[in-house]
Structure 1
């Protein structure tokens, strides 16, 4: 069973915001301190698109099909998760954490797993597939403890 220890790094992320928290106590009475946060400015896809989706000739006389336009909003979300994987590698390489708990939506966890360096993966003690970025820190403490107790 994964337990919180003093100085465990807890990373709480969705696809546009990340909170870096440190546990200042133990598993029985967690006390998370916010050590950093980063938020991405990611307007809606409609606001980022320049043109209407294109059309092309289709089979049959006078038929045309619409082309899917690039979803810039979704691409930015994926890029944010990749940047987080890079940030975690830099911090791990500097020796800034020994234990890591990842709390993120399943989609973000998937991108992180694909892009995360082995040095970071070796420090992960738990992954919690939840979106908690808009919760107050005291609620995050309770939820993370409960999730780790359930494992």
Structure 2
């Protein structure tokens, strides 16, 4: 996957978000870690619709879903404010599925790609290698 200069890469799971910007160009990936804006994880609106082993999802799963929704809301805000022109999202599969439910059409238009993989806590080298492989 080729990522243009100043494109953002969000790496997330249900508890953590890392944000990077490509300081290189489409041919040379040079990721720089960015400060993550505050994420409001209180959005648990869709948590009750997930199937789980019981009728009610666990509180921890609702918290993770709320955090995923909060990430999407923050990214929506950043895109609509013009701070993010292009974006790649790498997230744990369940987190990515929850985030997709909350994408604004403006974010969807700026989305270069998604990778369903849990890379939170991995090195910058691992993130770059995963992007290069897609």
Interval of TM-score (by shorter of Structure 1 and Structure 2) = 0.7 to 0.9
SS at match of 1:108: helix
Residue matched to 1:142: 129
1:89 to partner: Cα distance: 1.0
Residue matched to 1:114: 101
1:85 to partner: Cα distance: 0.9
Contact kept, 8 Å, 1:89 with 1:116, in 2: the verdict is: yes
Contact kept, 8 Å, 1:23 with 1:32, in 2: the verdict is: yes
Residue matched to 1:98: 85
Give me the TM-score of the superposition, normalised by structure 2. 0.82
Residue matched to 1:23: 22
1:97 and 1:76, CA in 2 relative to 1: closer, same or farther beyond 3 A? same
- Matched positions, count: 121
1:108 to partner: Cα distance: 1.1
Residue matched to 1:71: 58
- Compute the RMSD of aligned alpha carbons: 2.2
Contact kept, 8 Å, 2:37 with 2:74, in 1: the verdict is: no
Q: Whose radius of gyration is greater, 1 or 2?
A: 1
Could you tell me which runs of 5 or more consecutive residues in structure 1 were left unpaired when the two chains were aligned.
41-66
C-alpha distance in 1, partners of 2:127/2:81? 26
C-alpha distance in 1, partners of 2:121/2:58? 25
